[in-house]
Amino acid sequence: MSQSHRFYGHGIPHVNAQDLGGKLIVVEGADGSGRSTQIADLVTWLETSGHATVQVGLKRSTLVSEELERAQEGNVLSRTTLALFYATDFADQLENIILPALKSGFIVLADRYIYTLMARDMVRGMNEAWLKNLYGIAPEPDAVFYLSVEPQELVQRNLSKTATLDYWESGMDLGLSRDMFDSFLKYQTAMGEAFRQLEKSYHFDIIDANRLVGSVTRVLRKKISALLAKK
């Protein structure tokens, strides 16, 4: 159907980027940015309009998701190990879900992609060039929407939802502050900076998601309609 894709780097052995049709749409953003809500809306909207859709996200692979979850509970992984473990999780979904779906001309909606993984690793001191090589296996998406929300607003949204802040989303492993509230703000600020750094190499469509859900939805639908009309 549509034009083919390209890989950021070497790609995947024995996979030709020319064979990848479909659309790969990524929604990035912190917890509390409205990512999941927006993706749920997009799936319903796309499927209702007759588009075959597939969803992927982080830590959802058959291969390593359980082990990764277990390792994180004990917080025993050091940064390189964690980076590679997440990369394995991504690669497993890439080869088993994303690539076959694109080959069949599906729309793939990714609830976060390599950029969150890279940003997290960068905040933990991993080298950007190393990460770019590692994630050279990834195909370039047709669109990356980054839902940008101020850390202060993220705190409010997370607390109103679950009355707690997530250990990892607060970057507690980094020892930024013993106070979880402070750590969350510092960590989310650092993540925002890492995304800005990544934006120099990768193209993000930054969406102001401090607004109400409905208005973000309208923006996303409009942009995706335009993308699909391009063919």
Partner 1 sequence: MKTFAESKFPGRLIAVEGLDGSGKSTQIYLLKRWLEAEGIKVYFSEWNSSELVKSATSKGKKRELLTPTTFSLIHATDFADRYERHLVPLLRAGYIVLCDRYIFTAFARDVTRGCPPDWVRGNYSFACAPDLTMFFKADLEVSLNRILEGRPKLKFFEAGMDLRLSNDPYESFKIFQGRILDQYLAMTKEFNFVIIDANEPAERQQVIVRKLVSDRIELRKFKRRRPLPLPPALRKRREVESNDQDKEEDKIA
* Residues within the interface to partner 1 (CB under 8 A): 9-10, 12-14, 62-64, 66-68, 71, 76-81, 83-85, 87-88, 91-92, 94-95, 130, 133-134, 136-137
> From CA 129, how far away is CA 10, in angstroms rounded?
14
Q: Which is nearer to partner 1, 71 or 159 (CB)?
A: 71
> From CA 35, how far away is CA 164, in angstroms rounded?
18
Smallest distance, Å, CB 7 to partner 1?
A: 11
Smallest distance, Å, CB 45 to partner 1?
A: 33
> From CA 159, how far away is CA 185, in angstroms rounded?
13
Smallest distance, Å, CB 139 to partner 1?
A: 13
> From CA 93, how far away is CA 62, in angstroms rounded?
8
For 179, residues 6+ apart whose C-beta sits below 8 A from its C-beta are none
> From CA 170, how far away is CA 167, in angstroms rounded?
5
Residue 38 has which token pair? 């927006």
State the pairing for strand pair 107-111/53-57.
parallel
Smallest distance, Å, CB 201 to partner 1?
A: 16
Cross-strand bridge partners of residue 108: 24, 54
Q: Which is nearer to partner 1, 38 or 61 (CB)?
A: 61
Q: Which is nearer to partner 1, 57 or 136 (CB)?
A: 136
Q: Which is nearer to partner 1, 80 or 197 (CB)?
A: 80
Cross-strand bridge partners of residue 139: 7
Smallest distance, Å, CB 149 to partner 1?
A: 31
User: For the chain, how far is it from start to end, CA to CA, in angstroms?
Assistant: 7
Residue 23 has which token pair? 């659309």
Smallest distance, Å, CB 198 to partner 1?
A: 18
Q: Which is nearer to partner 1, 5 or 186 (CB)?
A: 5
Q: Which is nearer to partner 1, 79 or 221 (CB)?
A: 79
